Amino acid sequence: MSDTVRTRFAPSPTGYLHVGGARTALFCWLYARKHGGQFVLRVEDTDEARNTEEAKQAIFDGLAWLGLDWDEGPAKGGDCGPYFQSERRAIYDRYFEKLVAADRVYESEGAWRFRFDRKPVTMHDLVCGEVTIDYRDESNTPDMVVRRSDGSYVFHFVNVVDDLEMKITHVIRGEDHLMNTPKHLQLIEALGGVAPAYAHIPLIQNANGSKMSKRDVGAAVGDYIGSGYTPSALVNYLALLGWSSKSEEEIFTMQELTERFSLEAVNRSPARFDAEKCAWVNQQHLLRMSAADFAASAREYVVKADLPVGENFAAAAAAVQEKVRLLSEVPEALRFLLVDEFPIEESAWEKIQANAQAGAILQAIHGALAGLGEWNADSAKAALSDAAASIGAKAGAMMFPLRVALSGKSGGPDLMVILALLGRERCLQRIETLQSKRG
């Protein structure tokens, strides 16, 4: 086995990239990067009936978006190619002949079976611990087909051959493959190879404890692209599904994950996917962005929503950075700052209508703001305080009607920030508009 750590991710292009597959790829990538090794991508595309070019591209696009760059594989090349199983038939034939020469395979009804060595096989898994399968009872462990009657090879055989040929040192994969490993160890022994270390990671479940299938909401990596999530946040959340930092911290950059990741810290129990927690992690990543980076990331969503992006867009975006969980929420959060036509929340409108003082408050605010000599936060605060005193109201009572007039919302950015961003004329116009709506 090579001294250099080599991990691999081997997806089948029969559907989109599942978050479970992405989590496996992430763990493989993190382990390789932490140990200064190589991360290999190979595509198990021997199922011609189900493979699609669209699915293949979805895998490449998903990994690229997540930042899981591969050192060897499609579009990169490498010394151990080809990296598509459909192009490796000659290699498989060569290894099959090794089994024939060693008298470890025999023909049975047109297919070829691998003759198990009838002994207990023990493996030490880096996550699951010691696992033993007793091959002495042939009724429980019948000899395994390695080549079908049509000449094609089964998963177990090509998987082992590829790992040997590509000098893979650590196989990190889902726990559903755990019971396959003793079969693979027998094959490796028969082929005279050196087995990689194995680490079988827990499966991902839905919030209700059921297995997360490809049909479940949130299961496709592609659904997160362009939907308001940042790649760093999804990577962060996927890392938390089955791995623990052994601290109270949950928010990490890719660099921090690389430094902290270890297979010893991977849990045995299944991980449950929580969409709310995933969105919360995304929010934490948005909060850690610089104002400039947040504005740049939010810009495409605002443009897609057909909202204008003016000169003060960066300042407007900064005003809502703490208010959104997803970048896709930015357009609606910003709408009232970018255009003058915006809806009023029903609950906010009902509250305004029920407030007997709302008319007097809006009139007093309008007069106070219209008479300001200098338009800034300090002078606006003082003017609003004076306006409240003039009608015998508390200063706090002025804020809700003003917020609804300016934004149509009951919550949002600091009012002084809104006043500064909108400017005097737009603020006065909006107060007048709300007054006219009240009648």
- Supply the residues annotated as catalytic: 214
Per the CB < 8 A criterion, the answer to whether 239 and 7 are in contact is no
Per the CB < 8 A criterion, the answer to whether 34 and 258 are in contact is yes
Per the CB < 8 A criterion, the answer to whether 183 and 211 are in contact is no
Distance between CA atoms of 136 and 123, rounded to whole angstroms? 16
- What angle is formed at CA 27 by the lines to CA 21 and CA 32, rounded to 5 degrees? 125
Residue 154: phi, psi to the nearest 5?
A: -85, 165
Distance between CA atoms of 50 and 311, rounded to whole angstroms? 50
Distance between CA atoms of 162 and 330, rounded to whole angstroms? 46
Per the CB < 8 A criterion, the answer to whether 367 and 387 are in contact is yes
Q: Where are the alpha helices (DSSP H) in 102-180?
A: 155-165
Distance between CA atoms of 193 and 187, rounded to whole angstroms? 9
Burial 77-115 (b: 16+ CB within 10 A, else e): ebebbbbbbeebeebbeebbeebeeeebbeeeeebbbbe
Q: Is 286 helix (H, G, I), strand (E, B) or coil?
A: helix
Q: Which amino acid does the sequence have at 383?
A: A
- What angle is formed at CA 222 by the lines to CA 216 and CA 226, rounded to 5 degrees? 120
Burial 219-242 (b: 16+ CB within 10 A, else e): bbbeebbeebbbbbbbbbbbbbbb
Per the CB < 8 A criterion, the answer to whether 384 and 402 are in contact is yes
For residue 21, what are its two tokens? 């597959």
Angle at which helix 395-407 crosses helix 358-370, to 10 degrees, equals 80
Q: Where are the alpha helices (DSSP H) in 85-223?
A: 89-101, 155-165, 181-190
